[in-house]
């Protein structure tokens, strides 16, 4: 088969979507399938091939002022038309609901190509990047002002209610995103819990569950025993929606009970500077290590060095770093939001806390770290839970889904106002 990917993010930018796309494309390319990936142009570090069966078509893009890592891809209908004409895809797979995803789904309707969309990211939970507060970069101003304060207490860091289900921006983003995915022939969810959530959101198209998967020959560990000086870990993009500030606030309470504990935060992103200031104000910066970015190829060597994984993210459709940590035998504490309980089984391999509840996260972490028998049991269960996400089985399932959707031959073409607008580039000047 020939599969055409559309995504608003890809390598060399490292995130869960890019890693999932790469893993599936490389595994399926080994089985003889061909891929063309339409994605943003980043500049330094860009490449246009990944082996003999995977080619990339990069598109000019700008960036969102409130989050420079989010690319806004400029329309290039002539470039997309040329790519489709030359590649002749059997199937189009939409990986993001941004502009690249919109261009992709418009193309499938215009040219009558079967389509799949993976719900990698809950865009409604990233509405903060569309707020005037961050678009005008007032968050950075307040961070600078905050440096003038000598001391700060946890209660001073408890911000406005983030988990606002009635936020009008969330509703608008959710409606736009659902409309795009409902134009696909099939939707893929990385977890059963997200599938249930999508159906509650009102998506009408069928939803197949396929885990992002993990190469368990790389990420592996053995049953762990409790350390006298427990080393806690958080891994991922250090962006605002990951709520790493909540983890730092919780850690302040954890070391009051277990003074020998340390916290390592692996990753880079727009919230990193504010987190370092937060740690200093709380007086716990000596117990926290910010490593910055670590190459993904090195991560399997890091997880086994730690004792417990922490996350306060409320927008995970699966949570690749959580899966990696439990595959290495780490118990985990997460929050009751979307797909996290599918990897962190409450009372089995860790605990589930209330979202944004600093004290609840801290207390449940301390419970594990003060009970060697519980800790050992949780570690063994983490290893068991990871087994159901083995990469080969996920690739088999994806290939099966690709074949079933690609078999929808002679799909009816559609004409729409958007397709007409995106066709107004006769000289290809937007490429």
The DSSP string of 145-188 is HHTT-S---HHHH--S----TT-HHHHHHHHHHHHHHTTSSEEE
Q: Would the pLDDT of 9 be above 80?
A: yes
Q: Would the pLDDT of 161 be above 70?
A: no
Which helix H or strand E contains 376, and what residues bound it? Answer: helix 372-386
Assess if CATH 3.40.50.2000 describes domain 231-388.
yes
Q: Would the pLDDT of 10 be above 80?
A: yes
Query: Same topology for domains 2-149+156-213+393-423 and 231-388, yes or no?
Result: yes
2-149+156-213+393-423 CATH fold: Rossmann fold (3.40.50)
pLDDT value for 409:
73
3-state helix, strand, coil in the chain (%, to 5): 45, 20, 40
Cβ–Cβ under 8 Å, residues 420 and 106 = no
Q: Would the pLDDT of 160 be above 50?
A: no
Q: Would the pLDDT of 248 be above 50?
A: yes
Q: What are the boundaries of each domain within the chain?
A: 2-149+156-213+393-423, 231-388
Query: Ranked by mean pLDDT, which of 121-125, 399-403, 413-417 comes out on top?
Result: 399-403
Question: Residue 110's closest CA among 147, 84, 71, 141?
Answer: 84
pLDDT value for 62:
84
Average pLDDT, the chain: 85
The structure's pTM equals 0.75
For the residues 108-116, what does the mean pLDDT come to?
Answer: 95
In angstroms, the CA 74 to CA 318 distance is: 29
The dihedral of CA 270, 355, 21, 404: what is its sign? negative
Which helix H or strand E contains 402, and what residues bound it? Answer: helix 391-406
pLDDT value for 125:
44
In angstroms, the CA 325 to CA 349 distance is: 11
| Tokens read off for 15 | 């995130």
Cβ–Cβ under 8 Å, residues 185 and 116 = yes
Rg (CA), the chain: 22
For the residues 224-239, what does the mean pLDDT come to?
Answer: 94
């Amino acid at each position: 088969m020939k599969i055409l990917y559309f995504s608003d993010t890809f390598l060399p930018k490292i995130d869960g979507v890019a890693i999932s796309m790469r893993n599936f494309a490389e595994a399926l390319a080994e089985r003889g399938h061909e891929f063309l990936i339409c994605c943003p142009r980043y500049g330094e570090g860009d490449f246009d091939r990944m082996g003999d069966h995977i080619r990339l078509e990069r598109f000019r893009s700008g960036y969102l002022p409130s989050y420079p890592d989010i690319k806004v891809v400029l329309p290039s209908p002539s470039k997309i038309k040329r790519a489709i004409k030359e590649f002749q895809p059997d199937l189009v797979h939409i990986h993001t609901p941004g502009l690249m995803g919109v261009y992709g789904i418009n193309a499938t309707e215009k040219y009558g190509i079967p389509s799949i969309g993976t719900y990698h990211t809950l865009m409604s939970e990233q509405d903060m990047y569309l707020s005037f507060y961050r678009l005008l970069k007032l968050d950075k101003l307040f961070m600078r002002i905050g440096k003038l304060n000598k001391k700060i207490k946890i209660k001073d860091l408890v911000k406005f209610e983030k988990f606002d289900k009635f936020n009008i921006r969330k509703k608008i983003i959710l409606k736009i995103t659902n409309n795009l995915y409902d134009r696909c022939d099939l939707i893929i969810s990385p977890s059963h819990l997200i599938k249930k959530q999508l159906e509650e959101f009102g998506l009408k198209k069928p939803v197949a569950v396929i885990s992002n998967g993990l190469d368990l020959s790389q990420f592996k560990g053995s049953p762990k025993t409790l350390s006298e000086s427990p080393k806690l870990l958080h891994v991922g993009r250090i962006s605002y929606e990951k709520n790493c500030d909540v983890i730092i606030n919780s850690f302040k309470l954890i070391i009051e009970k277990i003074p020998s504990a340390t916290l390592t935060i692996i990753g880079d992103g727009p919230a990193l500077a504010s987190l370092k200031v937060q740690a200093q104000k709380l007086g716990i910066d000596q117990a926290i290590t910010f490593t910055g970015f670590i190459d993904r190829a090195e991560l399997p060597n890091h997880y086994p060095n730690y004792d417990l994984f922490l996350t306060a993210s409320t927008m995970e459709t699966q949570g690749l770093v959580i899966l990696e940590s439990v595959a290495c035998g780490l118990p985990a504490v997460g929050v009751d939001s979307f797909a996290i309980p599918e990897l962190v089984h409450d009372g089995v391999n860790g605990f589930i806390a209330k979202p944004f509840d600093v004290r609840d996260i801290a207390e449940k972490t301390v419970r594990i770290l003060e009970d060697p028998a519980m800790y050992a049991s949780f570690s063994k269960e983490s290893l068991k839970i990871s087994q159901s996400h083995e990469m080969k089985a996920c690739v088999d399932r994806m290939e099966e889904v690709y074949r079933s959707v690609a078999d929808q031959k002679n799909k009816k073409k559609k004409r729409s106002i958007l397709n007409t607008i995106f066709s107004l580039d006769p000289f290809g000047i937007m490429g």
